[in-house]
Structure formats: structure tokens, C-alpha cells
Copies of this chain bind each other. A is one copy, B any other.
């Protein structure tokens, strides 16, 4: 049936370039639909109509609706991984990494929720996507790895981490640093997702300042 995937290979014929271009446009229209009405409202026929072609034509590019959605999820993870990796790779410090994350989230809230939002019961992401998820964690850890150790006795969770740090196998950071990286992730996600979901709307404060305050709690825990 339909050959549906093409990498970003270099030796591209005109036809391959065309295919890639149409695939890209399909995904762009899909993102517009998701931004407008949520991922569950995504419709292949509507995308086709919007592109001025018939519904079945899309099956040249994606094997099914599920395939398309999976591709979108993969792109979302990929985009986040690239953003985080770029920040970490260029030697960004924690605040820079945090603001990269926030910028990426605000740029397209529904894309953020496709990664971190309500899970669809029964959906299992393919392996290559979970691999990108690990990549994101690894890139974050890169930013923490040079961090000066923070005094204080080992906490229960840090002790527990001692037996459960396979996910950070490549990083020789002490347990306390792994813990801080996890807190970085969960705390920033906490503020961000509540902000994006509109839960601060009634209160009038500036979410950016709360975000920075949470960020600060990770840098100077004693002023928490």
C-alpha cells in the first residue's frame, strides 16, 4: 500500500521533495484544526477540503487518521527536544532553559498539551517517541550536571533514587542533582500547564512572575 514515510534524507528527487512538502502542509492544516477545536476534532476530510483536494488523496501521505496524529505527536516531542537540546547544548543556565521551555509552550499551547496534556486511555506511544522523551530528560540533565552540590543530608527521595536512576544512566550526577532536575521539570510544568489551561484567568496576577518565582525556588531553595 501507500509508502507513507520519507525521512529527511538529502538525496531527494523532485517527487520526493513534493511529497515532503505536501506532508508538511497536511500537518500544518492539522495543527490549525487542533488549535481551533482540540485534537479530538481533527478530521482528514476537513483537511483535504481545506487544501483543495479530495479526502482519499490524503491516504497517499498518511496511512490513517491515527498515523497522522502519531506523526503530530512525534513532531511535538521532536520540536521540544530540539528546543531543549539547543538551549542545553549552547551552555544555557537554568533560567535560560526554563524560559526556553516556557517560550516553547506559549508558542503553541495545544502542542504542549499533545505532549503533557490529558492522556487518551489505551493509547501507547510508539518506541521512537518514548526515545525522544528520554532525549528531553537527558538534555535537561546536561544543564544540571555541572551544578555545585547543595549541602544538607540526603532526603528519603534521594536515597530512593539511588536504586532507581537507570533513566539517568549517562549522567554521573549525584542523587540530589537528579532530584533537582525532576523538581525543575515538575514545578515548571505545574505552573505552565495551569497557566495554559486558563486556571489563573480569574486571578489577575502575571503568570510570568509566578513562573519566575518557581524557577527561583529551584535556584535558591532557601528563599523558596
Contacts and interface: CB of A to CB of B under 8 A. Distances in A.
A26 interface: no
Query: What is the interface residue range for chain A against chain B?
Result: 35 or more
Interface string A9-48: 0000000000000000000000000011111100000000
Nearest to A213: B157
A94 interface: no
Interface string A153-196: 00111001100101100000000000110110111111101101
B38 A194 contact: no
Contact of A193 (B157, B167, B189, B203): B189
B213 A155 contact: yes
A166 B205 CA distance: 10
A178 to B, nearest CB: 9
B202 A186 contact: no
Interface in A74-121: 110, 113, 116-121
A56 interface: no
Most chain B CB within 10 A, of A121, A166, A190, is at A190
Interface of A: 35-40, 110, 113, 116-122, 130, 133-134, 150, 152, 155-157, 160-161, 164, 166-167, 179-180, 182-183, 185-191, 193-194, 196-199, 202-206, 209-210, 212-214, 216-218, 221-224
